[in-house]
Structure 1
Amino acid sequence: MKVRSSVRALKRKPGSVVVRRRGRVRVVNRTNPRWNSRQG
Protein backbone atom coordinates (compact mmCIF):
# COMPACT_ATOMS: atom_id res chain seq x y z
CA MET A 1 0.00 0.00 0.00
CA LYS A 2 1.30 3.44 -0.88
CA VAL A 3 1.53 5.79 2.06
CA ARG A 4 -0.03 9.16 1.39
CA SER A 5 2.26 12.16 1.68
CA SER A 6 0.09 13.71 4.41
CA VAL A 7 0.60 10.60 6.54
CA ARG A 8 4.30 10.61 5.77
CA ALA A 9 4.60 14.21 6.97
CA LEU A 10 2.89 13.32 10.25
CA LYS A 11 5.28 10.50 11.04
CA ARG A 12 8.12 13.03 11.31
CA LYS A 13 6.40 14.75 14.25
CA PRO A 14 7.86 13.95 17.67
CA GLY A 15 6.18 11.06 19.42
CA SER A 16 4.40 9.63 16.39
CA VAL A 17 4.32 5.94 15.47
CA VAL A 18 3.07 4.38 12.23
CA VAL A 19 0.87 1.36 13.02
CA ARG A 20 -1.00 -1.07 10.78
CA ARG A 21 -4.33 -2.09 12.28
CA ARG A 22 -6.90 -4.21 10.38
CA GLY A 23 -5.30 -3.38 7.04
CA ARG A 24 -5.26 0.37 7.67
CA VAL A 25 -2.23 2.56 8.12
CA ARG A 26 -2.54 4.79 11.17
CA VAL A 27 -0.34 7.45 12.69
CA VAL A 28 -0.74 7.40 16.45
CA ASN A 29 0.72 10.25 18.45
CA ARG A 30 0.47 10.19 22.22
CA THR A 31 2.14 13.52 22.86
CA ASN A 32 -0.25 15.46 20.62
CA PRO A 33 -3.48 13.60 19.65
CA ARG A 34 -4.21 16.28 17.06
CA TRP A 35 -1.71 14.51 14.79
CA ASN A 36 -3.54 11.18 14.75
CA SER A 37 -4.61 10.14 11.28
CA ARG A 38 -5.50 7.10 9.19
CA GLN A 39 -5.31 5.93 5.63
CA GLY A 40 -7.29 3.17 3.94
Structure 2
Amino acid sequence: MKVLSSLKSVKLRHKDCKVVKRKGRLFVICKSNPRFKASQGVKGK
Protein backbone atom coordinates (compact mmCIF):
# COMPACT_ATOMS: atom_id res chain seq x y z
CA MET A 1 0.00 0.00 0.00
CA LYS A 2 1.28 3.45 -0.84
CA VAL A 3 1.12 6.43 1.52
CA LEU A 4 0.46 9.54 -0.54
CA SER A 5 0.05 13.25 0.06
CA SER A 6 -2.67 13.51 -2.57
CA LEU A 7 -5.26 10.85 -3.39
CA LYS A 8 -6.96 12.64 -6.27
CA SER A 9 -4.78 11.05 -8.94
CA VAL A 10 -5.09 7.61 -7.33
CA LYS A 11 -8.86 7.49 -7.32
CA LEU A 12 -8.93 8.37 -11.02
CA ARG A 13 -6.74 5.40 -11.97
CA HIS A 14 -9.55 2.87 -12.18
CA LYS A 15 -13.33 2.96 -12.30
CA ASP A 16 -13.68 0.61 -9.32
CA CYS A 17 -11.54 2.69 -6.95
CA LYS A 18 -13.36 4.11 -3.93
CA VAL A 19 -12.26 6.61 -1.30
CA VAL A 20 -13.09 5.47 2.25
CA LYS A 21 -12.51 7.24 5.56
CA ARG A 22 -11.54 5.01 8.51
CA LYS A 23 -10.26 6.14 11.91
CA GLY A 24 -9.28 9.60 10.65
CA ARG A 25 -7.41 8.29 7.62
CA LEU A 26 -8.37 8.31 3.96
CA PHE A 27 -7.98 5.09 2.02
CA VAL A 28 -8.36 4.29 -1.65
CA ILE A 29 -9.55 0.71 -2.08
CA CYS A 30 -9.97 -1.17 -5.33
CA LYS A 31 -11.39 -4.70 -5.22
CA SER A 32 -10.78 -5.56 -8.85
CA ASN A 33 -7.14 -4.38 -8.83
CA PRO A 34 -5.63 -4.36 -5.30
CA ARG A 35 -2.35 -2.74 -6.38
CA PHE A 36 -4.14 0.62 -6.42
CA LYS A 37 -4.54 0.61 -2.61
CA ALA A 38 -3.35 3.84 -1.01
CA SER A 39 -3.69 5.74 2.26
CA GLN A 40 -3.42 9.30 3.48
CA GLY A 41 -3.49 10.70 6.99
CA VAL A 42 -1.97 10.35 10.45
CA LYS A 43 1.07 8.08 10.43
CA GLY A 44 2.31 6.15 13.44
CA LYS A 45 -0.21 6.24 16.27
> What TM-score results when the alignment is normalised by the length of structure 1?
0.79
Between Structure 1 and Structure 2, how many residues are aligned? 36
More helix by share: 1
Misfit runs of 4+, over 2 Å: none
> What TM-score results when the alignment is normalised by the length of structure 2?
0.71
Give me the CA root mean square deviation.
1.2
More strand by share: 1
- Larger Cα Rg: Structure 1 or Structure 2? 2
- Consecutive unaligned residues of structure 1, counting only runs of 5 or more, are none
- Consecutive unaligned residues of structure 2, counting only runs of 5 or more, are none
